[in-house]
Structure 1
C-alpha cells in the first residue's frame, strides 16, 4: 500500500513525501531521509509499536521521477486492527499501486513550510535518536490536522502538480477537486491553464511542452512549443531564469542537475510555473537590433514554484 504522509521520528512531526523531498534537496538544511525513521501517521497505531516499526520511501531522493513518490509498508511493518494504512486495507478500498496521486491538497500555501527540529539529547547531536524510552510522540501538527489523514494544505508545488498530471486522463475528477491559492479558489481543472491560453485569466498555474531550454551558463530561458495568438498573429512564449535567482536558490544543486539534464534530453518535457503571467514584450532582433519583435515573456520570481517534468497523459492525448 502507498500513501503520502508519515510520522518523522527525527522531526517529531508528520510529513508528506513531498516535504521529505524538499528537505532532501535543501542545501540550507542538514537532512537526509536515509537517516530518518518514518512511522505510521495514525497516532493510535504508532503508539502501539516501538520505533523499529518503520515504513520505507519511494522516490524520496530522485531529482527526476516518473512514478508518484510515496511512503509504503515494508514486509515487516505492523499496524493495529482497523488502521487505514494496513496493507489489507488496499483490497477493501480498491487501491492499486498505479501512478496516480489520490491525495489532493485543497490548498497550495505560498509561504514555505518550516520544519523545527527536536532538541537533541546530550551527545547525540546530528544523530537520529535510537530506541527512545517512551513511545514516539502522538502530537499532531497544525499543518496536518487533528487526524491521520493526508494534509489538506501543502506548500510544495510538486504535490498539486503531481495530482494534476497523474490524473490528467480523468477530467471529471480534476473538475470536481477544489484548489485554493491565495484568495482564489477554483478546481484543479480550472487552475491549470495551458500556456497557449494564458490570456484567458491571470494568476493561474501555466504549463506547456518545452520547445527548447537555452543554457546561458549562469541563466536559462525556457521556450514553449505552443504559441499565443493575439490579433490573428502568433507569438512565442518563454520564461527566463536569472543568474541571481539560481545562485540564491536553496536547492541550487538539484535544480541545476535537473535543468541541465532537461536541456539535453530528447524526451518530451513540460514546464509548470506559478506566480507570474507572461506578457507581451518587444525585444530587439539579433540580426537587426534596431528592429523589435513581440514575444510573451516573464521572469520567474520563485524557483519553488517552477517544475520541469514529463506528462505521459499529454503525449497519449
Structure 2
C-alpha cells in the first residue's frame, strides 16, 4: 500500500513524502531519509508497536522521477486491526497505483516550512510518545488524530504539480479539486495554465514543453516550444535563472544536477513555475545590437517554485 504521510522519528513530526524529498536535498539541514525511521501516521497504531516497526520510502532521494513518490509498508510492517494503512485493509492501493497522486493538497503555501529537530530523540526500542496536539508538518491549524488523511496544505511545489501531471487523464477530477494559492482559489485545472495562454490570467502556475535550455555556465535560460500570439504576431517565451539565484539556493547541488542533465537530454521535458508572469520585452539582436526583437520573458525569483520534469500525457 502507498500513502503520502508518515511519522518521522528524528523530527517527532508527521511529514509528507514531498517534505522528505525537500529535506534530503536541502544543504542547510542534516537529514538523510535512508538513515531515519518512518512509522505509521496513525497515532493509535504507531503507539501499539516498537520504533522498529518501520515503513519505507519510494522515490524519496531521486532527483528526477516518473512514478509518484510515496511511503509504503515493508513485508514486516505491522498495523493494528482496522488501521487504514494496513496493506490487507479493504480498499488498500496496489503498487500499480504508484503512477498517480491521489492526495490533493487544498492549499499551496508560499512560505517555506521549516523542520526543527528535537534535541533529544526517543530510544529505538521505546514506544513512541504521543502528543495529541502535534500537527503534521504540512498542516496548519488542524489537530492530529488517529485517523490521519492527506495533508490539507503543502509548501512543496512538487506536490500540486504531481497531482496535476499524474491525473492529467482525469480532467473531471482536476476540474473538481480546489486549490488555494495566496488569496486566489480555483480548481487545479484552472490554476495550471499552458504557457502559450499566459496572457489570459496572472498569478497562475504556468507550464510548457521545453524547446531548449541555454547553459551560460553560471546561469540558465529556459526556452519554451510554444509561442505567445499578440496582435497576430508570434513571440517566443523564456524564463531566466540568474547566477545569484542559483548560488544562494539551498538545494543548489540537486538543482544543478537536474538542469545540467536536462540541457543535453533527449527526453521530452516540461517546465512548471509559479510566482512570475513573463512579460513582453524588447531585447537586442545578437547579430545587430542596434536592433531589438520582442520576447515574453521573466526572471525566476524563487527556485522552490520551479520544476523541470517529464510529464507523460500532457499536451
Answer whether contact 1:206 1:272 (CA < 8 A) is retained: yes
Q: Which residue of the partner structure matches residue 200 of structure 1? A: 200
Q: Which residue of the partner structure matches residue 270 of structure 2? A: 270
Answer whether contact 1:51 1:136 (CA < 8 A) is retained: no
| Distance (whole Å) between structure 2 residues aligned to residue 39 and residue 133 of structure 1 | 13
Q: Which residue of the partner structure matches residue 243 of structure 2? A: 243
Task: Show CA shifts across 1:110-156 (max 9, x none).
Answer: 000110111136xxxxxxx5425443434431643423111100000
Answer whether contact 2:283 2:293 (CA < 8 A) is retained: yes
| Distance (whole Å) between structure 2 residues aligned to residue 43 and residue 194 of structure 1 | 41
Q: Which residue of the partner structure matches residue 294 of structure 1? A: 294
- 1:111-126 to structure 2, matched below 5 A, reads 111-120=111-120
| Distance (whole Å) between structure 1 residues aligned to residue 251 and residue 216 of structure 2 | 19
- 1:1-150 to structure 2, matched below 5 A, reads 1-89=1-89, 91-92=90-91, 97-98=96-97, 99-120=99-120, 130-139=123-132, 140-141=134-135, 143-144=138-139, 145=142, 146-147=144-145, 148-150=148-150
Report the more deviating stretch, 182-191 or 97-106.
Answer: 97-106
SS class of match (2:222): strand
Task: Check if 1:285 corresponds to 2:293.
Answer: no
Task: Show CA shifts across 1:156-213 (max 9, x none).
Answer: 0000000000000100000000000000000000000000000000000000000000
Answer whether contact 1:47 1:138 (CA < 8 A) is retained: no
Unaligned runs of 5+ in 1: 122-128
Task: Show CA shifts across 1:7-45 (max 9, x none).
Answer: 000000000000000000000001001111000000000
Unaligned runs of 5+ in 2: none
Answer whether contact 1:110 1:155 (CA < 8 A) is retained: yes
Answer whether contact 1:9 1:136 (CA < 8 A) is retained: no
| Distance (whole Å) between structure 2 residues aligned to residue 257 and residue 171 of structure 1 | 33
Answer whether contact 2:86 2:92 (CA < 8 A) is retained: no
What is the Cα-based RMSD across aligned positions, in Å? 1.3
Q: Which residue of the partner structure matches residue 168 of structure 2? A: 168
| Distance (whole Å) between structure 2 residues aligned to residue 67 and residue 203 of structure 1 | 28
**TM-score after normalising by structure 2:** 0.95
**TM-score after normalising by structure 1:** 0.94
| Distance (whole Å) between structure 2 residues aligned to residue 18 and residue 220 of structure 1 | 25
SS class of match (1:46): helix
| Distance (whole Å) between structure 2 residues aligned to residue 187 and residue 115 of structure 1 | 29
| Distance (whole Å) between structure 2 residues aligned to residue 2 and residue 136 of structure 1 | 25
| Distance (whole Å) between structure 2 residues aligned to residue 96 and residue 71 of structure 1 | 11
Q: Which residue of the partner structure matches residue 182 of structure 2? A: 182
